[in-house]
Amino acid sequence: MDTETRRAASTLVLLAVLGTLVRLVMAGPAPPGSVGYRAATAQRPTLDGTRARAEDAGRPLDAGERIDVNVADATQLMRLPRIGPGLAARIVAHRERHGRFASLDDLTKVPGIGSSVRDAVRPHVALPPGDAQSRSSGPAAVDVNRADAAALQTLPGIGPAKAQAILAARARLGRFRRVEDLLEVPGIGPATLGRLRRLVRIS
């Protein structure tokens, strides 16, 4: 192969490489039906994280503690009697598909939950205001020194952010010694405290 032929071949190879690089840089959205491949970036669960979730799921309920089935995740739901990983996952899936549970009886619409399971969890579930049991016996007072985020969110005006703020204030103070200590929580003022006063207790 003479010099000119080798030079022409080298030029063609170089142009082909440059063209490929330009296409990669300038590529727009993939055409419909094309398949793209992407390296997996999700991290695998760590052993410590798995152990912590298992310990949380196995932690017994405190006296008077209730879990709101409309906000609790699967790990929290597994703390309820007779609720294992499968039923907990079904409760979350049913809630995401059909919306909030309007009453405790709505739990029986979840596959695998019958009246016996419903009755077993009844004393430990935070009931929505329209439920017959909540009308007859009134809501259970939430112990703000023992309640977790899910239980705190059953209180009026307490969403995820304020629930975490209560937990942070409790950790900072050691414990709440009186209901008025809730005023130390950012976002809780006298008006909110007035709504909470009859719904919380201090242990």
Q: How confident is the model at residue 44 (pLDDT cuts 50, 70, 90)?
A: low
pLDDT per residue over 11-42, tens digit each? 666 666 666 665 665 555 555 554 554 544 44
Specify the DSSP class assigned to residue 39: -
DSSP alpha helix (H) spans, the chain: 3-26, 47-58, 74-77, 85-98, 115-121, 132-137, 149-152, 160-173, 190-196
Alpha-carbon distance of 106 to 75, in angstroms, equals: 20
Structure tokens at 24: 């990669």
**DSSP codes, 97-110:** HH---SSGGGGGGS
Specify the DSSP class assigned to residue 146: T
pLDDT per residue over 159-189, tens digit each? 899 999 999 999 999 999 999 999 999 989 8
For residue 40, give the amino acid letter.
A
Alpha-carbon distance of 113 to 106, in angstroms, equals: 10
pLDDT at 71: 84
Global model pTM greater than 0.75: no
Q: How confident is the model at residue 145 (pLDDT cuts 50, 70, 90)?
A: very high
Specify the DSSP class assigned to residue 201: E
